[in-house]
Amino acid sequence: MNENKGKEIISNTNQPESPKPVKDNKEMKKKLMRMMLIVVGILVVFLIIILIFSFLGSGNKSYEEIEQDLKNAAIEYYEVQSGLLPREEGETITVRANTLADAELMKPLSELREGENCSGRVEVTKVGDNIIYTPYLECGDNYNTKELYKAVLEQKIVTSGNGLYDLNGEKVYRGDDVNNYVSLDNAIYRIVKVTPDNKLLLILNEVDSTLSSYYDDRYNPTKRFNSGFNDYRISRIKEFLDDLYSSKNDIKILSKNDKEKLASFNLCIGKRNATETNNTNAIECSDVLENQMIGLLTASDYMNASLDANCKATTDKSCQNYNYLRLKETEWWLLTGNAANDYEAYIVKSNGYIDINTTSGYKKIRPTIMLNNNVMIKSGNGSASNPFILK
């Protein structure tokens, strides 16, 4: 009996141990669950804090949004105060941001940019049949609305090489490699010059077959032929340009938004001789057509774009050199007529110099426009790859 008991004890000691309870695994799962809940809770609290700050800071609009608020408020203000709107061409009036805020048309600037000392205004100008609203926002060193002409003048005036020159009281681009590109809605333009009142004369950069016309093709009794006249006032080319601006044809080089940035200007339509050496526009501006919205380039303006010292007289072939206005393989009309014959006007030849042509010739057209001095820049440096972009 004792012998069997011993075997029984030995047998029991060799049996495998019973599995441990699953209690430890359950505790681990509970701990992980608690940790996950804590992490999720922290994230939720963090998101709530972000939302609260976002809500509290929602008044801090971007500068461009505030400029748009100023413009919209001014438009609404003058819908009621229409009697205060400018009536004369080029006339400008100003309404301040605090006036618009007092009229409850927008929030005060102190609420729109908390912690910043900002001031604002809207200049309201009559241009042709349109009323143009231009907002200005000034927030110390942080932000200031900048006009295009100021960005242009920041390129600095040069006295040699490519660049912007002080010439005849104007700031004129000269050379064959200048940063004067402007992107409008429908086309790229080049800045020719900045006028004494800080407006900018632009010319269309490229032309195609749709932009072609006679200068004029009426019957000329002197020539006894339909060779036309070089009087711009009654010319076919003026009719073409007027239709182009008013969108009476299918050619769209200016959008409605573009037109709101334009100013009327005087076209210098005086005639000059082929040997004339005065390139100050004094000859061309001896006869002026006032308050135009679109036009063509004068012979003097084309000559001034050349850096070649031998570009002296109207038809000097040296005027093709160092001249960004030259378009290869393209002949295009200038505004200027030939003083020697009433049926001739000047063109720019495909190799870049000015020549005389019968007005009945069918040539390309590079329209010019005048940007107002209150046109604002959004971005760009004027280069071909990064043109000035307007607001």
pLDDT along the chain (391 residues), means of 10: 46 50 66 78 73 54 92 95 90 95 94 92 88 92 93 95 97 98 97 97 95 96 94 97 88 92 96 98 98 97 98 98 96 98 97 98 97 93 97 90
Helix (H, G, I), strand (E, B) or coil at 378: strand
Give the pLDDT of residue 28. Answer: 73
Domain ranges in the chain? 63-145, 204-371
What stretch of H or E contains 114? none
363's CB contacts (< 8 A; 6+ apart) are: 212, 213, 215, 331, 332, 333, 347, 357
Distance between CA atoms of 216 and 226, rounded to whole angstroms?
9
Distance between CA atoms of 230 and 233, rounded to whole angstroms?
9
The alpha carbons of the chain give a radius of gyration, in whole angstroms, of: 36
Give the pLDDT of residue 8. Answer: 46
- Number of neighbouring beta carbons within 10 Å of residue 90: 14
Give the pLDDT of residue 59. Answer: 54
